[in-house]
Amino acid sequence: MRPQSQPPGRRGERTPDRSPPDRGRIDHTTSVQPATHPGDIWLYGRHTVTAALANPQRRIRRLVALPETAAEGKRLAAAAAARLLGAASLEILPRESFEALLPAGAVHQGLALAAVPLPALALEDVIAHGAAAPGAAQRPQIVVLLDQVSDPHNVGAVLRSAAAFGALAVIVPERGAPPVTGVLAKAASGALEHVPIVRVVNLARAIDQLKGAGFWCVGLDEAAADALPALGLGGRIALVLGAEGEGMRRLTRERCDLVARLPTSGTLAALNVSNAAAIALYELNRSAALGMADGDRRPS
């Protein structure tokens, strides 16, 4: 839209330029990008943005880049055009305007997007999907449950390990677990698009539901008598981890079929919850690959 004409200035004076500022949009239009809607989240960082744009279920309201990352942003926008809502297209913003959209100190690598949250899944959806997945009988089906883990960096890192080792979902309680934010998504490094976070009202009841669906539920505790590799678990497994220091709550622990420890050595046996999750997921997959697991075992 052309700016309204202004009355000419006095002779010798320059008429102010009141045209809209050039935002550097790739499509070279002057339409204004829509503001983000309530509930939308800003995702940032190269891996996080790339994974979100590649996810067929993800819908994008805004996609922004710095001038130095414009070429990469243009390529990503072209590949994901179907997921850009309405008139959304790549915006090139100066650094000050770009960083004003994100949390202070965000490690954004010059790329960010405002996204509609992914559809929420129920625990029943995860159980049904795991049973119907191709090759489900030939590999372990693992879900990760987090009890009292409130740090979004830890939840994001666990999500990243869950994606790396093929877990079906990360399950958290509605109360006490962090919301899905750009901080959590950045820590997950793209895994948010591959492994769902499932929120449940009561974690102990969720464990009961998983056991009823044939999951062998094992909690991690550094003081447990048995080491996880010695159990030879396989089939359907629910791995339960508590917060660093506090561990699992009593009701959560009591619902587990087994409690095991990681085979650490030395004077420092305790691990950060995200590190413990990665090691445990590796071990469960390794046991299955070696044929150590008995997929027909069920909680007694």
Do 239 and 176 belong to one domain? yes
Give the up-direction half-sphere exposure of residue 299: CA atoms within 13 A in the CB hemisphere. 21
Of 115, 149, 178, the residue that ends a domain is 115
pLDDT at 293: 43
pLDDT at 288: 76
Into how many domains does the chain fold? 2
Of 96, 115, 134, the residue that ends a domain is 115
Q: What does the pLDDT look like over 74-97, one tens digit per residue?
A: 998 888 887 787 656 789 999 999
Do 83 and 223 belong to one domain? no
Nearest-angstrom CA–CA distance, 171 and 192: 13
Do 189 and 223 belong to one domain? yes
Do 109 and 144 belong to one domain? no
Do 108 and 230 belong to one domain? no
pLDDT at 5: 44
- Which domain CATH number covers 109? 3.30.1330.30
Residue 299 lies in a domain: no
Residue 15 lies in a domain: no
Q: Going by DSSP bridges, is the β-strand pair 169-173/197-200 parallel, antiparallel, or unpaired?
A: parallel
Do 139 and 52 belong to one domain? no
CA distances from 32 to 70, 170, 180, 252 (A): 18, 38, 27, 50
- Which domain CATH number covers 129? 3.40.1280.10
Residue 182 lies in a domain: yes
Do 55 and 76 belong to one domain? yes
Ranges in the chain, pLDDT < 50: 1-34, 292-293, 295-300
Of 57, 90, 115, the residue that ends a domain is 115
Residue 293 phi, psi dihedral angles, 5° rounding: -85, 150
Q: What is the span of the domain harbouring residue 173?
A: 123-289
Residue 10 lies in a domain: no
pLDDT at 36: 67
pLDDT at 257: 96
Do 141 and 194 belong to one domain? yes
- Hey, what are 122's tokens? 């129920």
pLDDT at 37: 79
Q: What does the pLDDT look like over 243-276, one tens digit per residue?
A: 877 889 999 999 999 999 998 876 666 789 999 9
Q: What's the pTM value of the predicted model, to 2 decimals? A: 0.81
Contacts of 188 (CB under 8 A, 6+ apart): 48, 156, 157, 159, 160, 163
Contacts of 14 (CB under 8 A, 6+ apart): none
pLDDT at 7: 42
